[in-house]
Chain A
């Protein structure tokens, strides 16, 4: 009896077992890539022109120019920071009741559905599009930005809060309910202690996001540091733009580290 010849080399099994599907996907991806690259219009002449500008932009970081546009930078930064804080606070104040209403284990179906549709509406529009419409409605300036960010905060925070409430330990809310607590007492002593650490974490995270977004919505006229940055780039003042970018990066880093520090202490 001769020995069966076993293969001496092991090969990893392919990710997709069906060979037709596997090669079909590869061919489809290649076809798509070819089509996408073929229709990509690249103006090589303009690109070559950009090289000295890119060098100028990189050089602008050494050193960045904080001084000559300091007045604009200062006012833009104040607008961004105040906008981020007020919109986060107002957004949270509105999203807590909506979040409670959107939790399946707390709210009756009709409240659940209406709160969920508010969340869906808020989440499906991006900040910048909301900002365009609100600037048209209430005029240029940080107030439009404040409204935009508050609106965006509602969708974000209510959804995560509602999911958190749906995940809580049912035994302890049952226990509070069985003492004969009223609805508000039930919320305050049964649910609130369980979701509070995460709510604080999410609020800090949203503050961070709102600051970042406040740097963007200025491009469509909703105030903040984004307007300053836009002006600086439009004037090709790359050294001022570099200063603004460095300030944004520094504040975001600071916010990220301090919020993770606070979250570690709370949780």
Chain B
């Protein structure tokens, strides 16, 4: 005979009713706030443009296909420039980011009170500004071209590399460092034989990962004039040459896919 529970047996609940109500109210508040934000955001939106979006999409689709394959000969140099912007930018960022990482890590910084906050500020301000914005600034200051792109990429990457690397430095095994310094090694030797071998895999992974991201970002830097294939994209967009735009999108996708594959291979080899 199946045991029927007595009528006054409480049914199991995951949370107490009061908690349940509080959580519901929280979610409701979030939903209401989101709706309010949406209303504020779309105050000036011209909805008529949205209603014919499907027509626009069909129109754009018919303009974009087929891609103009013959245009590809104009793209090789831009592609080479894109690759250079990403690679040279990453190298420059490594050159500046590694020292910043050592200054920011708690166990290697010369001064926790003075140097570390400055290094952390460098990291934060570099990280919070996208490379496209850096490029926008640099094009205004040093003029359009690949150099602005290289510097923009490296300014953004310094923070990324330094942040991940200093976290790796803080996690190293202190006993190895102690063993090296116990032999009477100079600070530079401690760095080279006690610390560096421990963070080398992390360093390689971070650098290649950032290179991969930089390839991705350098493809669009040209939109603001900082060289690379984005310049051709901007030129094609300006004259509404959509078949060329499609071709450039395809090239960008292929480049990004290749760089992702390379970076996965290299990281696999190191880790």
Contact = CB atoms under 8 A, between A and B. Distances in A.
B3 interface: no
B95 interface: no
A24 B142 CA distance: 36
A47 B147 contact: yes
B45 A143 contact: yes
A22 interface: no
Nearest to B91: A33
B64 to A, nearest CB: 9
A239 interface: no
A86 B37 contact: yes
B30 interface: yes
Interface string A226-259: 1001100110100001000100110011001000
A249 B33 CA distance: 24
B142 A54 contact: yes
B26 to A, nearest CB: 12
A83 B256 CA distance: 27
A107 interface: no
B143 A47 contact: yes
B145 A42 contact: yes
A146 B146 contact: no
Q: Is the interface of B mostly helix, strand, loop or mixed?
A: helix
B147 A141 contact: no
Contact of A47 (B124, B142, B193, B220): B142
Interface in B137-176: 137, 140-143, 145-147, 150
Interface stretch (A97-105, A111-119, A210-218): A210-218
Nearest to A32: B87
Contacts of B224: 219
Contacts of A32: 87
B128 A212 contact: yes
Q: How large is the interface on B (under 10, 10 to 19, 20 to 34, 35 or more residues)?
A: 35 or more
Q: Which of B44, B60, B252, B257 has the most CB of A within 10 A?
A: B44
Interface stretch (A62-70, A125-133, A159-167, A169-177): A125-133
Contacts of B31: 89
B197 to A, nearest CB: 8
Contacts of B133: 215-216, 226, 229, 245, 248
Interface of B: 14, 30-31, 33-34, 37-38, 40-42, 44-46, 49-50, 53, 56-57, 60, 80-81, 83-84, 87-88, 124-125, 127-130, 132-133, 136-137, 140-143, 145-147, 150, 193, 216-217, 219-220, 223-224, 237, 249, 252-253, 256-257
8 contacts: A46-B142, A57-B141, A89-B34, A126-B216, A141-B44, A143-B45, A215-B130, A215-B133
